[in-house]
Structure 1
Amino acid sequence: MAKKAASKRQPPAASERPATRVSATAESPAPPAPRPEPGMGRWTFLTNHSHVMILLSRYPSMVLREVAMQVGITERAVQRIIADLEDEGFIEREKVGRQNHYRILTSQRLRHPIEAHCTIGDLLLLINDRL
């Protein structure tokens, strides 16, 4: 009994691919996340939790898909991070129509003993002040 040859599927040519839609809304006017320079390591000084919080402080109504793209993680990971931040009292979520609006509770202290003398507001001021 002869086996049927496995056919290898080829991806469509670039001209045949559907165009990807990019939407820029007033709530999330964030520029695309910069790509790391060649030769730089893949680690960062700040955690994904802090990256999510920084973005939400700048763009309180940013959709989670956009947050995920900016941070470079999955949308599900962003959902878990937001749940962590809400559970620990670092952010509050308010439903505005069909959108969520996030408020950062800037008076909360940072969690690690080395930085516990600083607040979330101090961190955000340091990062956002340079923009």
Structure 2
Amino acid sequence: MSRSSVAARRSAYALAGLLAAAGVTHLLNPEPYDRIVPRSLPGSPRTYTYVSGVAELALAAGLAHPRTRRAAGLAAAGFFAAVFPANVKMAVDWRMAPPARRAIAYGRLPLQVPLVLWGLKVARESRTQ
């Protein structure tokens, strides 16, 4: 196995781990996530929190398996783009918060770009494995 394919597999597993951890926290401690669900969405924020947690776990599982890695990488990129409005809501809601909380909220906004790119990279690299 080449170094590049080992690195690609590790990258996919790392993204899977990140998504799995996020999914578990959404399910075990949903309250913080409920607060950042945009109010313009119909229904209960808790439903969106649970659905996103389950989606993160499903994406993690897909990334962990070579046969589904490409599709899961593309889906992860889409997922990271789709949850961006929640990060915007958090930044708006925390604009008057203490500086440390504001930094967290504002820091999440540009973080979505490398996450989207990471999902796309995993998808692209899965074709060569």
TM-score (normalizing by structure 2):
0.28
Higher relative contact order (CA 8 A, sep 6+): 2
Between structures 1 and 2, the one with greater strand share: 1
Structure number with higher helix proportion = 2
Larger Rg: 1
